[in-house]
Chains A and B, each alone.
Chain A
Amino acid sequence: MSAFFVHKEAVTQWIRHLARSNTVYFPQRAGQSGFRFKPVKETTEIQFDRYQPTLAPPGKKLAPAEEPLFRYRKQGDAAPELVPILDQSPRILAGVRPCDLKGIHLMDRANREGHGDPHYLTRRTHTILIAHDCLQPCDDSCFCDAVGSLGWRDNADLFLTSLEDHILIEVRTGPGETLIQGMNFPVCTDVAAVKSRAEAQRAQPFGRQFHADLARIPAIIASQWQAPVWEKQVERCFSCGSCNLVCPTCYCFDVHDDFDLTDPNAGQRTRTWDGCMLPQFAEVAGGHNFRPNPAARQRHRVKRKFEYLTERFAEGSFCTGCGRCGRQCTTDIDIFNIVNDLIDHAEANS
């Protein structure tokens, strides 16, 4: 497909132009060091390369924290009448990084499994992704290269690479194409040359690396059920769930019904984010808890990201290496260190 090599200023104008007739989310400053994906306004700063991963990943725009699922009404003994609530509003997520692009891909896979989740998939169908490459690790917390997310491109509609004061725009899909129609951007005649110049600027090694090959990690973790690492790594844990809630590939939720004050026979079902680090997550009727202590919960979380889901979906890793969980844990528990400790423990005991 086509590619364009465009001055950064023109790209900024283009994003603002798109935002006049679409909802365009772009990472914007929030608080002192954080960023949030927020709708672009006329005055929004469009800054592609000074990047810190957003507090919540962009994929959460497809699965909001509190989401109405359907309205219900009961009449006598008849089956309740259900009206699903589906959000068909079109949106563009721009400035998405490779790790988060991979995260959305993994969310797509999980939400398409079985019957599929109509709420997520409806939003997803109406979403266009404009992604942007990273030539430097965003900070000391990320490890996208170690889990193979850095090179992820598959689900981008448009993929952008910054090179000095220009940006290479690669069109990857039909919907992506429609966004640049009529812009008269200069065509890039030698994509390979631009890319290899960009590649020469990419940091080597790129961010933190594991002590073992990614392909070996699921088996290593499977062998470490009893490792002392689990207990040691949660001594400081608050079971606050922050690491789940900021993760681009955590999709667990809880549901509850709420009836209308004016008519107790009618109401709404809502789902809210949940997470396996929270103490009540594995509690079942009767009060039994399958994972009553933080070490068991942490083990479950790590195995989900690096073993269970990785194997179920045949993806290299269900952790995208975005670094959010370690960055936002107030007590500095970092999944990267847990995995490395497990590798070290396995090596030392083999």
Chain B
Amino acid sequence: MKPKVAFFDFASCEGCQLAVLNCEDILLDILGLVDIVEFREAMSETAPRFDVAFIEGSINREQDAERLRDIRARSTYLVAMGACACIGNVQARSNFIAPAENFQRVYGVEDRNMVQTDPEFWPLWAHTRVRAVKEIVPVDFELRGCPLVPEEFVHLVKALVTGATPRFSTQAVCVECKMNENECVYDQGETCMGQITRGGCKAICITNGYRCDGCRGILPHANLAAHHGLLQSKGLSEPQITNRYRLFCSAESLGRVGRTGHDK
């Protein structure tokens, strides 16, 4: 019997599901290996078990956390798919700002006050912390990046179907950047997150003329002190540096960089 695979989306742009659908040329071959069942609505009590559950998006509300726990309980393997699910992504930046301030920014002063005084709005307070999937349930595999890298998705599916151990890069983006023989953006007066960011994306942003902003998250062995010093020596101000570290890596870099920095 073919393994049952399901996709669930939480707070995301659904760009990762799109990236999966963009594997057009081999999607049919993948469908030969697995049965894909897509669930967008809440599951019924009798919902089946899944061999592999792909989770897209960050977890922002308590009801989402509940739904996630339920999916976890029904799944053999759970995969965090994309930067939102793996590290919280850009939306996790809101974690650095007091909830009341966030409400005010989005809804204005009056509604912010309502949220504080009117019990009807109180459940919204549960909506104040953006979490990565692994902060709530154990994650078996991560497909990092914003969006995920289609080749890594295919690689993981193949590994899961055959019981092989998938390989994911734990090296800096610089490795693939050098393999592409790119000129380093530091030699163009730019700065880059590549030296402290997990590779696996084939350094796609630099290869296409931009810099790495770190969407795959900070490496476990990252020399952050040296990187921070390097950005300073290139003339970046403290707030600029904080912004660079928090663009994608917010949740993951908690406690490692910029705990005291202010989001501007």
Contacts and interface: CB of A to CB of B under 8 A. Distances in A.
A binds B: yes
Given A235-B226, A239-B221, A32 B188 contact: yes
Contacts of B179: 65-66, 245, 272-273
Nearest to B26: A261
Contacts of A31: 182-183, 187-188
B30 A280 contact: no
Interface in A16-70: 30-34, 36, 55-56, 65-66
Interface residues of B, number: 38
A280 B168 CA distance: 12
A56 B175 CA distance: 13
A30 to B, nearest CB: 6
Contact of B178 (A33, A56, A238, A256): A56
A279 B221 contact: yes
Contacts of B171: 240-241, 278-280
Interface residues of A, number: 36
B188 A238 contact: no
User: Mostly helix, strand, loop or mixed at chain A's interface?
Assistant: loop
User: Mostly helix, strand, loop or mixed at chain B's interface?
Assistant: helix
A264 interface: yes
A232 to B, nearest CB: 13
Contact of B223 (A56, A238, A262, A278): A238
Contact of B167 (A34, A56, A256): A256
A276 interface: no
Given A272-B179, A279-B221, A330-B195, A32 B172 contact: no
Which among B167, B175, B221 has the highest number of chain A CB atoms within 10 Å?
A: B175
Given A245-B179, A330-B195, A236 B172 contact: no
B174 A240 contact: yes
A310 interface: no
A340 interface: no
Given A32-B187, A32-B188, A279-B221, A236 B229 contact: yes
A259 interface: yes
A320 B85 CA distance: 46
A242 interface: yes
A60 B233 CA distance: 33
A241 B174 contact: yes
Contacts of A328: 178, 184, 187
B175 A245 contact: yes
Nearest to A34: B183
B227 interface: yes
A246 interface: yes
A237 B223 contact: yes
B182 A55 contact: yes
A152 B115 CA distance: 77
Contact of A261 (B29, B184, B192): B29
Contacts of A33: 183, 187
A231 to B, nearest CB: 13
B235 to A, nearest CB: 15
B33 interface: yes
B76 interface: no
A281 to B, nearest CB: 9
A66 B175 CA distance: 12
A337 interface: no
A261 B167 contact: no
Contacts of B32: 261-262
B33 A261 contact: yes
A55 B181 contact: yes
Contact of A330 (B154, B182, B230): B230
Given A66-B179, A259-B162, A328-B184, A238 B29 contact: no
Given A241-B171, A261-B33, A236 B183 contact: no
Given A33-B187, A55-B178, 4 more contacts: A238-B196, A261-B29, A273-B179, A331-B195
21 contacts: A32-B183, A55-B178, A55-B181, A56-B181, A236-B230, A237-B223, A238-B172, A239-B172, A241-B172, A245-B175, A258-B158, A259-B158, A261-B32, A262-B29, A264-B162, A272-B179, A273-B178, A294-B223, A328-B178, A330-B230, A331-B230
